[in-house]
Chain A
Amino acid sequence: MKPANKPKYLRELVRRAACHAVLASGCVVMVFPFYWMLVTSLKGQSEAQMLPPMLWPVKPQWVNFAEVFKAVPMARYLMNSLGIAVVVTAATIVTSAMAAHAFARIQFPGRELAFGLFLATMMIPFEVILIPDFILVHRLGWYNTYAALIVPWCASVFAIFLLRQSFMTIPTELHEASLLDGCSHLRYLWSVALPLATPSLITVGIVSFLGSWNSLLWPLVVTDTPELRPVQVGLAYFTTEAGTKYHLAAAAATVSILPIVALYLAAQRHFVEGIARTGLKS
């Protein structure tokens, strides 16, 4: 028995080692940019511009982080980004869940056409609608207000699409049984569809949150004052037309991605599941 098992055991070991080596190299590729950002954030300006680049700072400059907070109202920017992203995410989930349910389960004339039109809007680049959107926001009296930063982003076609696909994977029998039992559409959505679509909901949440967190041009266009501006404006601060202070830009970037990393780590499993499910049919 033993001699027969040994080659099998060895083969398994080699297979696993190879598998882990491939995974580990992928991991290095993914992690290295973050490592590089962190290391650069701890260098001095000359050191950050050095060639060949140093993989570790000679003397970690923790003062860079203090400088970032001194140079720009980073705490304010972070709070703005957080507040805006949370409200936008919550509102997007509410609006897209209701629209997705209508498109998935309610029969009404022109449903497919309406859904097609919704999807078609995804093909219009943001640059094209920037000026009309700006004019609308201005006429509503929202220029330089939180409303301009939040309201236009409270509905998302991508989120509607993602949730609709997810709702369509729920057996229609569940919907019919719920209606027979006297459920309203909202009750079915709340008590049956949403709990079953949690991974997709979380995906929608993360995508909305990230989109909001990363936006720069729109906040610059519709606001004037630093009190209303988000964290990306803080990142842009360390780049001038003459060059970039890489060490401070990296420090600001490190601060700005912390909430995103935390969010991703917390919801990682659901994120992957949610994306994987969108292609499934019952």
Chain B
Amino acid sequence: MGGHTRVIRKYGALLAALMVAAGGCSSKNGGAGSGAGRLKIVFWHTQTDDNARALAELVRRYNATNRLGVTVEALYQGNYDDIFRKTMAAVQGGKLPDIAVAYESMVAEYMRAGVVLPLDDLVNGPNGLSKQDLKDIEPAFLATNRFPQFGNKLLSFPFTKSVLVMYSNLDALRAAGFSQPPKTWSEFWRAARAVTKRDPSGGPGVRGLIISANASTIDGWFYSNGGRLLTPDRKRVLFNEPPCVEVFSGIRSLVDAGAAYLTQERDYQMEFGAGRGVLFCGSSTQRNYFREAVAGKFRWAISNIPQRDPKHPITVLYGANLAIFRSNPQRQAAAWDFVKWLSQKEQTAFWAIRSSYMPIRRSVANMPEMLEAWKKDPQGKQAFDVIRYAVPEPNVRGWQDVRTYLEEALQAVVSGTDSAKGALDKAAEKANQALASKA
């Protein structure tokens, strides 16, 4: 009893002090740094680590140089799931920022809530983009931000873009008689088998293809084998047609031959780096992690994913965009000014060099700093050369669910619980329901 009271007394004072300190240390938006007479706009993002430092530097430069007297406050709001939940909370509760990073599916949800500012008038307005600018920005990067279900308006602007590519272990391919990464699907199936080596002592050996069940990769594979994902009216899916089924059947055959295997999370980076898997299809953004995993043990390269028709290659885009939320004309103009500034050549190059995202403009390829950066990051240039073949993935409402069904279908095929056709038929049925319910 006495001890009990003593302990409470002893720590009571400490607790009281902490509570007072906690209550008194509140911080309000719009405090230090905004400066008298400057308009402060808030930018929510998901960037961490090196990318966050690069973004902070860009924001610092903009704040120091813009002529509108705008101060951008860049605030980290967690990963994409977190920022989506926070933005949806803010849609209902208030406190929306001026700009937020968002995938197309998120932009569609925000637009449905009526909070997104269409950008067409700003792009074509007095502080807009010139024809030359619009020609310079990769068309697919803009196309992915146009939403057919909302009058084909430009609702967001490209920001953290990347492209679906194939990572190849060149040394392993060469040892199996392939002087370069496979370009066609038939070469791809052959190469994956040819490089596969069983370890007689029971070790992991070497296998041709590392699989990650990622819907964007699946979308890209289907496109590049001549498949289609949606009907022209975007109401039904078409991925249970022969070209798509063929891809899944091919993967099943590889798995049966011990030439392909599924990995979880981002284990594929380590598997590739350890030389256990030779080919992998995924986002170009990951190349720095692949480089660390390879650690100079072998030569590797990035190229486009395998194609049915190499004369008309195709792949898909990845990455998020910037959405501007409705507020008042002054804030909206300021937000656009920042978004536009970010898309200019110098900033695009800086962002591409410091982050591992793709530059959104073609002209940066000739800038000395970009060429210098690509000397250390040759795979960055290889990925950049693939962008011109990239097309957007569907951005209709409900596609987020469809992605899950596609990933489940691939897992079912790899694990052997379903045939390629059966798994894709089931996925298509669920997908059509999802699209119908969110139409």
Residues of A within 8 A of B (CB): 45-46, 49-52, 71, 83-84, 86-87, 90, 127, 130-131, 134-135, 138-139, 143-147, 150, 191, 194-195, 198, 216-217, 220-221, 224-228, 233, 236-245
Contacts and interface: CB of A to CB of B under 8 A. Distances in A.
Which secondary structure dominates chain A's binding surface?
helix
Contacts of B36: none
A236 B15 contact: no
Nearest to A149: B22
Interface string B264-308: 001001110110100000010110110011010000000000000
A241 B80 contact: yes
A84 B10 CA distance: 19
How many B residues touch the partner, as a band? Answer: 35 or more
Contacts of A227: 25, 27
Contacts of B293: 46, 49-50
Contacts of A86: 15, 18
Given A46-B295, A83-B21, A86-B18, A138 B93 contact: yes
Interface stretch (B82-90, B376-384, B409-417): B82-90
Nearest to A137: B93
B18 A87 contact: yes
Nearest to A238: B49
Contact of B93 (A71, A127, A131, A220): A131
A2 to B, nearest CB: 50
A217 B79 CA distance: 10
Contacts of B26: 144-147, 228
Contact of B4 (A127, A195, A224, A237): A195
Contacts of B356: 242
Interface in B72-98: 75-80, 82, 85-86, 88-90, 92-95
Interface core residue of A134, A226, A238 (most chain B CB under 10 Å):
A134
Contacts of A45: 292
Given A150-B22, A217-B78, A194 B4 contact: yes
Given A144-B29, A195-B1, A242-B289, A220 B82 contact: yes
B144 interface: no
Contacts of A191: 1
Given A236-B78, A239-B48, A130 B89 contact: yes
A137 to B, nearest CB: 8
The 8 closest A-B pairs by CB, nearest first: A243-B289, A145-B26, A51-B274, A135-B93, A46-B295, A134-B89, A242-B285, A49-B293
A79 to B, nearest CB: 10
B125 interface: no
B74 to A, nearest CB: 11
B51 interface: yes
Contacts of B288: 242-243
Contacts of B269: 49, 243
13 contacts: A45-B292, A49-B270, A49-B289, A52-B274, A86-B18, A134-B89, A139-B93, A144-B26, A216-B78, A217-B78, A236-B48, A236-B78, A241-B80
B48 A238 contact: yes
A215 to B, nearest CB: 12
A210 B374 CA distance: 46
B46 A131 contact: no
B232 interface: no
